[in-house]
Structures are given as C-alpha cells and as structure tokens.
Amino acid sequence: MKKILILSFLLAVIGYNIKAQNISCNELLQAVVTGADHYSEVNNMALISSSFLDEVDAYEYEGVLFVVAKFKPKSGQFYGSTYIFCGVSKSNWNSFKNGFSGTYGERFHEYIRDYTCGCY
C-alpha cells in the first residue's frame, strides 16, 4: 500500500512539475520496481560494449514511464550505481532503445538523462 501511495504522490508531482523532494530515490526506485508494470528493457548483453551502462529497464505506472538505469562499477568498485528517471516519453524510450544513430550511451544522454525525478 505504501508503494502505491508513493507512486500516486509522484504522479501528482510530475503532473504539476513540482520537485519530489519529500521522497528518497531509494523508496521511489523500490516502489517503481515492485509496483509498476515492466514495460521494456535493454539488457546487459546488448550493452556489453557500453562503457558505463549495464542495464536499463522501463516501467509504466498509470501511463507514466519510469526508467531505471544500472551503471557499471567504476574502477576499483564491485557494484555500480542505480538511478531512476521519471516521466520519460515512450517516444524518447523507443529512440533510446531502437535508435539507429550513436551508441546507447549517446542516446541515453540525449533521450533519458534529463528526466530526473527530483527525489533525494
């Protein structure tokens, strides 16, 4: 129930362009991964040549697309970081996933990176 409340709050925030600074990114990430529908992915085999992307998943909740990006570990680290992006259009997701120009990294910067959630 808490996850549904978090997602509902976030949808309201996105709709009014208010920053979601009252929710942690970890809470939001967990709510999306467990409470939203898995929409699509670019798995680590497709991203094997990427220098920083490990896996990218898209989730949909009430028509809003959330993108969860797992980054490869930096030198000397065992685990990479995971970030969430909010309100990505399906058009941008499809351009990132199926684009014909540039690398996945370049397309990530062009189509996904700017959709920050404003969480803390």
Tens digits of residue pLDDT in 55-113 = 999 999 999 999 999 999 988 788 899 999 999 999 999 999 998 889 999 999 999 99
- The per-residue b/e assignment along 85-115, b for 16 or more CB within 10 angstroms, e otherwise, is bbbbeeebbebbbeeeeeebeebbeebbeeb
Q: Is the pLDDT of residue 17 over 50?
A: no
Distances (CA, A) of 32 to 48, 52, 64, 67, 96: 25, 23, 11, 9, 20
Would you mind telling me the total number of residues written for the chain in this entry? 120
Give domain status of residue 119, yes or no. Answer: no
Residue 74 belongs to some domain of the structure: yes
Q: How confident is the model at residue 7 (pLDDT cuts 50, 70, 90)?
A: low
Domain limits for position 74 = 2-111
106 falls within a domain? yes
Helices (H), the chain: 2-16, 25-35, 90-98, 104-111
Residue 120 lies in a domain: no
**Inside any domain, residue 96:** yes
> What pLDDT does residue 75 have?
80
- Domain count for the chain, please give it: 1
Domain presence at residue 36: yes
Mean pLDDT of the chain: 87
Would 49 be classed as within a structural domain? yes
Q: How high is the pLDDT of residue 115?
A: 97
User: In this model, does residue 23 exceed pLDDT 90?
Assistant: no
pLDDT band at residue 18, thresholds of 50, 70 and 90?
very low
Entry pTM: 0.83
Percentage above 90 pLDDT, the chain: 68
Residue 118 inside a domain? The answer is no
